[in-house]
Amino acid sequence: MNKEEILSKVNEAFVSVLEHNNFELTDQTTADDVDGWESITHMMIITEVEKKFEIKFKLMDLMNMNNVGDLINTITSEI
Amino acid sequence: MKFVKRLQKSIENHIHNNALCINNSFYTYKDFALTISKIRASIVETVAESEKLIGLVTNDDIETYATIIALWLEGKAYVPVNPATPIERNEKIFELTGTKYVIDSSESSLYHKFSIIDPKESEEVDIDLTPKKFSGDQLAYILFTSGTTGLPKGVPITFDNLDSLVSAIDDEPTFSLNEKDRCLQMFELTFDFSVVAYLFPFLAGSCLYTIPNGAIKYFYIFKLIEEQKLTVLTMVPSIINYLRPYFSEINATDVRYCSFGGGALYKDIAKEWSACLPNSKIFNYYGPTEFTVYSGFYPYHKDTHQKAYNGIIAIGTPQKDTSYLIVNEDNEEVAINVMGELCLAGPQITPGYWKNEERNTHCFFNRQEGNKIVRYYKTGDLCIKDEEGDYLYVGRADFQVKIRGYRVELAEIEFHAKSKSQIKVNMVALDIKNNLGNTELALAIESEEFDTETLFEYMKTKMPNYMIPTQVKFVKEFPHSINGKIDRKKLKAFFDKKLSNQ
């Protein structure tokens, strides 16, 4: 799976949790840039991403995830 | 005001220690003392002596913490408002308290209706932490919680109230912080639990670690535990619900104390969590805002102390100088093992709700005990006292509902529903009005949809028919209040509006 494909699936996860698509995800995107992305929805997005990619994140990875780029790198290393 | 004097001594004696870690920046007690002193100087210069209730916008910075101490040294109270809360509500709070001055470290303050003091603009002065002389019945803070009428209700706490809290915790040898401790402060300063999370570390010269705005709270807490090797955790139980899928990865050997409060702690998750903190004591604290944060605790231990009722860990015994009394609807004491409303008396009791006579008449009562008149606060919490003198939490009095004439405890339904479920998810029982205007029971499940047949069959073996929920909704994520408690009102709306389970 290339980076575009990963990003597109990640995007789907965000849309399904946040119920809107008023955002563009890039490597630098953080919770501050996206409406509704906060502590609780973050947990839901993580679960959704885990399901879509059939992976299970480590808490160590999650605690250092600061932007969408970090999320994609972690996914890449897991699949 | 012994504790204000002690704060002064603690800050002066630990001048080279770290006091705060905010967003990866450390501040020593010397930095803290300087910040307190300069804010204090601008308060003295700007605010009239007679102005006692000062607004505070609670940003996550050293100035906000320093302002609390600066106000206390001057015998004044802080009235905190959260910058994330709508400004209309915050202005309403300042109107209710007659606050004229607002201390706001925000880049540009929105509180133009008030005189704004920007603590970042204050000029450097010499350290001066000697408290002014003032009387202990002066207020130290007023916190506002949501009121049933839509108007927020204010709970004032005096310096004497806080002195009694500090003295009660001091009296408890099993909890004693020291200057080497690294303590979690995860609370909004508008939530009373924050008071114990910052006050006890400052009194001991420990370092406080805050959660930056915008951080993913649950993971940030874990990051602090892991990287900063926190030793003292003070938290609401909902935090560990979110970390639960990752418990197997957590082995926090440095944690010595973990205090829970502000919500029911469940036995099964407490046991799993205690395995993550192999060297920690776990305290289940109880106490309403009206009684200065804590009124007592139960010393949980996964092997020796796991007393629970409907799966909820006991709240134990009252602390020094506090009395518990369980009463019936006529405010008369009930017998051992009989459920009633828990009432509290002692020096930590609030003088009463802020300008709310009606509520005060309703929530406080006097009782003749020997030759003394004792004033009690009615908590609205249903409890049972057992033979050993431990108090067991049953549920909120307002969560006790009547279904077809029967009294039903919502917590009991939740307990049975959860105990059978294969997947560990949150469930909340709610009373809702059906189309005919009758009260019906509903079960909200925080999960993707799954088959509930076995769960209901099990509940039917444990409870009478009228206690079995007639409606079920799956909610992906329960709505929470700002304090991390499940927002039942919002949850009920999922049933009212017949919303889908998205």
Q: Which two tokens stand for residue B356?
A: 């709310």
Pairing of strands B308-309, B296-300: unpaired
- Tokens representing B290 are 């009206």
Q: Which residue has the tokens 């008396």?
A: B345
- Rounded Cα distance, B484 and B262, in Å: 9
A42 within 8 A of A70, measured Cβ to Cβ? no
Task: Write the DSSP assignment of B428-495 as a string of letters.
Answer: EEEEEE-TTS-EEEEEEEESS----HHHHHHHHHHS-GGGS-SEEEEESS--B-TTS-B-HHHHHHHH
Name which of B188, B219, B224 to mutate to probe chain A: the one with the most chain A Cβ atoms within 10 A of its Cβ: B219
Q: Which residues of A touch B242 (CB under 8 A)?
A: 43
A19 in helix, strand or coil?
coil
CB contact under 8 A, B246 and A59: yes
Residue B286 amino acid letter: Y
Query: Taking a C-beta distance cutoff of 8 angstroms, is the pair B422, B447 a contact?
Result: no
Nearest Cα residue in chain B from A36? B214
Which among B220, B243, B477 is the nearest to A40, CB-wise? Answer: B477
Which amino acid makes up residue B341? E
Reduce the DSSP state of residue B225 to 3 states and report it. Answer: helix
What sign does the dihedral B14-B16-B21-B22 (CA atoms) show? Answer: positive
Task: Name every chain B residue with its beta carbon within 8 A of the beta carbon of A65.
Answer: 216, 219
- The alpha carbon of residue B418 is apart from the nearest alpha carbon of chain A, in Å, by 21
Give a three-class secondary structure readout of B226-240: HHCCCCEEEECHHHH
From B8's Cα to the closest Cα of chain A, the distance in A is 36
- Which amino acid does the sequence have at B202? F
pLDDT at residue A66, rounded to an integer: 85
**Mean pLDDT for all residues in chain A:** 90
Assigned token pair, B394: 């049953």
Q: Which residues of A touch B480 (CB under 8 A)?
A: 40
CA B38 to chain centre: 30
Distance in angstroms (rounded) separating the CA atoms of residues B474 and B446: 6
Joined together, the tokens standing for residue B479 give: 């709505």
User: At B8, is the secondary structure helix, strand, or coil?
Assistant: helix
A19, with CB counted inside 10 A (0-12, 13-18, 19+), is exposed
Instruction: Compute φ and ψ for B216, nearest 5 degrees.
Output: -75, 105
Looking at CA atoms only, how far is residue B239 from chain A in angstroms?
10
In 3-state terms, what secondary structure has residue B385?
Answer: strand
Task: Give the chain B residue nearest A43 (alpha carbons).
Answer: B242
- The answer to whether B217 contacts chain A (CB < 8 Å) is yes
Chain B residue closest to A62 (CA)? B219
Beta bridge partners of B6: none
pLDDT at B209: 98
Of A17, A31, A43, the CB nearest to B214: A31
Could you tell me which residues come within 8 angstroms of residue B48 by beta carbon, excluding any fewer than 6 positions away?
none
Q: How confident is the model at residue B385, as a pLDDT?
A: 98
Of B125, B131, B114, whose CA–CA distance to B55 is shortest? Answer: B114
Domains and CATH numbers, chain B: 216-398 (3.40.50.12780), 404-496 (3.30.300.30)
Instruction: Give the integer Cα–Cα distance in Å for A69 and A59.
Output: 17
Q: How many CB pairs under 8 A join A and B?
A: 43
Q: How far is A62 from chain B (nearest CA, A)?
A: 7
User: Which residues of chain B lie closer than 8 angstroms to A60, CB-CB?
Assistant: 226, 249
Residues of A in contact with B243 (CB under 8 A): 59
- For chain B, give the number of residues: 502
Give the other-Cβ count within 10 Å of A8's Cβ: 12
For residues B300 and B284, what is the distance between their CA atoms, to the nearest angstrom?
Answer: 7
Count: domains in chain A: 1
Whether ipTM tops 0.90, in short, is no
pLDDT tier at A36, thresholds 50, 70, 90: confident
Q: Tell me the Cα Rg of chain B.
A: 23
Q: Do B217 and A58 touch (CB under 8 A)?
A: no
Which of B187, B188, B213, B216 to mutate: most A Cβ within 10 Å? B216
| pLDDT recorded at residue B242 | 81
Query: Which residues are B207's β-sheet partners?
Result: B182
A interface residues, B as partner, C-beta within 8 Å: 17, 19, 30-32, 38-44, 58-60, 62-65
Give, for all 502 residues of chain B, the pLDDT tens digit: 799 999 999 999 999 999 999 999 999 999 999 999 999 999 999 999 999 999 999 999 999 999 999 999 999 999 999 998 889 889 999 999 999 999 999 999 999 999 999 999 988 999 999 999 999 999 999 998 765 455 678 999 999 999 999 999 999 999 999 999 999 999 989 999 999 999 999 999 999 999 987 778 888 999 999 999 999 999 988 888 888 889 999 999 999 999 999 888 999 999 999 999 999 999 999 999 999 999 999 999 999 999 999 999 999 999 999 999 999 999 999 999 999 999 999 999 999 999 999 889 999 999 999 999 999 999 999 999 999 999 999 988 877 787 876 778 888 888 889 887 777 888 999 998 877 667 889 999 998 889 998 899 888 888 888 889 989 999 988 888 776 778 888 898 888 754 433 3
DSSP B25-67: EEEEHHHHHHHHHHHHHHHHHHS-TT--EEEEE--SSHHHHHH
* Helix, coil or strand: residue B157: strand
Range of the domain at A40: 3-78
String of b and e for B230-254 (b: at least 16 CB within 10 Å)?
A: bbbbbbbbbbbbbbebbeeebebeb
Q: Which of A40-44, A45-49, B153-157, B176-180 has the lowest mean pLDDT?
A: A40-44
Residues 6 or more apart whose Cβ sits within 8 Å of residue B247: B272, B273, B275, B276
Across the interface, which of A17, A42, A63 has its CB nearest the CB of B222?
A63
**Cα(B92)–Cα(B340) distance, rounded to whole angstroms?**
35
User: How far is residue B79's CA from residue A58's CA, in Å, rounded to a whole number?
Assistant: 41
Tell me the CATH number at A62.
Answer: 1.10.1200.10
Integer Cα distance of B398 and B238 in angstroms: 21
Contact call for A59 and B249, based on CB within 8 A: yes
Q: Is B218 helix (H, G, I), strand (E, B) or coil?
A: helix
Q: Look at A62 and B250 and tell me if their CB atoms are within 8 Å.
A: no
**Tokens found for residue B383:** 């409890």
| Contact call for A39 and B476, based on CB within 8 A | no
